[in-house]
Amino acid sequence: MMALTLKAMDYFTTALRHGNIAKAAVELNIAASAVSAAIDQVEAAFDLTLVTRHRARGIQATASGRVVARKCERLLDDYRSVLAEGADLRQALSGTFRVGYYAPIAPAFLPQILETFLPGDGGVDLQLEECDNDAAQDGLLSGRYDAILFVSEDVRPSMTFEALISAPPYCLLPAAHPLAAQPVVSMTEIAREPLVVLNRPVVAAYYARLFDSHVRQAPIVAYANSTEMVRSLVAAGRGCALLNMRPLTPESYGGSEVVAVPISDPLPALSLAVGYDSARPRRITQCFVDACKAYFATSDAARCVVARTDAGSAVTQGGSGA
C-alpha cells in the first residue's frame, strides 16, 4: 500500500464535506487540481473507488468513501489534538516538571527558586530527584529530567548549560576546635587534622587534588556520601572536612554546631550550572532557568558560600558546588 499523507486526507475530507472540488479548493486556498490529485491519491492508497464525480453536480462519496472519510476525520482530529496539546505543553506552567540535582545543599535554595515562578494552584506535578553528576547529565540527555543542577567541571560535550556561580573550598570544623576561631586556615594546617571526606563522584577526586602540594600528616577517618553525614561527623568531633557550599544553619542533624572557615591558599573552585534544552525549552523550563540565575545573583545565595577577603578575613559570596 502506498503512503497516505495527512495533507491528502485533509483535502479528500474537505472535498467530500463540500461535495465540490472547486469549493474545497477555495477553502483550502489551493488549486482545484491539487484537490483532485489528493482524491486520486487516497483512492490509489486503498485501491478503491471512493468518490463519484458528476460533471454538473460536483462529487459524492461512495459507500466505501464514506467509511474512509470517517476514519480520515478521526485521524485528522487526533493529529490536531496532538498539535494543540504540544503547544499547551510548551507554553503552559502546568504538567509534570522534573529536576535532577547534584547539589547536596539544594534544599537550602531550591524551594525558594521554585516559589518565584510556580503557580499556586497545584497545576504542576513537581518531581525533584537527587543524583550524582553523571546520572544528572545522563537523565537530561535521555529526557528523564527537564532541567538539572550539576557541577560543570565534568560536563559532557553534548550538554548545553549555563553557569550559575562558583565557590571556593572551605574548611568545616567542630565549633569547639581551636582552628574554628581563626579568620582563615591554611592547607598546611588542615593537612595535620583528621579528615572526613565527602565521597561523591567528581568532588572526592577534587578534594584529593587540593592536597597535592601538602603532605597529609593525619589520616582520613571517614568517607560519607552525603553532605549532612559529613557535617554530623565533623560536629561530633571526628575530624574536619573540605566542602564548597554550606547550608544556612550551623547546626548538624545531631544538633551540634559546625563552623565554616575560609582557606587562605589559592585553590580552584567548583561551579554550579543549570543544564536544559536551550534550543526548544518548555516555558516552565525557561522560567526555572531564569529563576535560578536571578536567585544566584542575590545576597541570599551569597550566604551559602564561604570565601575570604584579600586581607584574609572571612566573607560570604555567591557560589555553589558540592
CB 275 within 8 A of CB 159: yes
Q: Among 52, 75, 91, which residue terminates a domain?
A: 91
- Rounded to 10 degrees, what is the CA torsion of 188, 193, 198, 199? 90
Total tally of structural domains belonging to the chain: 3
Domain edge (last residue) among 91, 126, 142: 91
Is 151 inside a domain boundary? yes
Pair 173, 257 in one domain: yes
Does any domain span residue 307?
Answer: no
Same domain, 221 and 249: yes
Residues 151 and 274 in one domain: yes
Task: List CB contacts of 85: < 8 A, sequence separation 6 or more.
Answer: none
Cα(185)–Cα(267) distance, integer angstroms: 13
Residue 317 lies in a domain: no
CATH number for 236: 3.40.190.10
Same domain flag for 277 and 157 = yes
Degrees to nearest 5, angle at CA 95 with 277 and 114: 70
Q: How far apart are CA 291 and CA 288, in angstroms?
A: 5
- Using a 10 angstrom Cβ sphere, with 0-12 exposed, 13-18 middle and 19 or more buried, the burial of residue 248 is exposed
Judgement on whether residues 255 and 173 belong to the same structural domain of the protein: yes
**Residue 313: inside a domain:** no
**Are 276 and 148 in a shared domain?**
yes
Q: What's the pTM? A: 0.69
pLDDT tens digit at each of 322 positions of the chain: 567 899 999 999 999 999 999 999 999 999 999 999 999 999 999 889 999 988 777 899 999 989 999 999 898 888 887 776 666 656 666 788 999 999 888 988 999 999 998 877 667 889 999 998 999 999 999 999 999 999 988 788 888 999 998 889 999 999 999 999 999 999 999 999 999 999 987 888 888 889 877 778 889 999 998 899 999 999 999 999 999 998 888 999 989 999 999 999 999 999 999 999 988 888 889 999 999 999 999 877 888 888 775 434 444 433 333 4
| 153 lies in the same domain as 286 | yes
Q: Mark whether 156 and 196 lie in a shared domain.
A: no
Cell numbers representing residue 28 in the block: 483550502
**59 occurs within a structural domain:** yes
| Domain contains 38 | yes
What's the pLDDT score for residue 312?
44
Query: Which of 91, 110, 136 is the last residue in one of the domains?
Result: 91
Judge whether 116 lies within some domain: yes
| Any domain includes 308 | no
Using alpha carbons only, give the angle 288, 292, 297 rounded to the nearest 5 degrees.
150
pLDDT given for residue 158 in this prediction: 85
Alpha helices, H only, the chain = 6-18, 21-28, 32-46, 63-91, 110-115, 133-142, 187-191, 203-209, 227-235, 283-295, 299-302
Q: Are both 71 and 214 inside the same structural domain?
A: no
Predicted pLDDT of residue 91? 61
Pair (177, 256) in one structural domain: yes
Whole-number pLDDT of residue 282: 86
Q: What is the pLDDT of residue 291?
A: 94
Could you tell me how many residues make up the chain? 322
Are 160 and 274 in a shared domain? yes
What does DSSP assign to residue 305?
-
Distance of CA 90 to the CA centre of its chain: 15
The DSSP output letter for 117 is T
Parallel, antiparallel, or unpaired: how do β-strands 124-130 and 170-174 relate? unpaired
How far lies 244's CA from each of 121, 162, 234, 304, 320, in Å?
A: 36, 19, 15, 9, 6
- The CATH number given to whatever domain includes residue 18 is 1.10.10.10
Residues 174 and 216 in one domain: yes
Q: Which domain holds residue 80?
A: 6-91
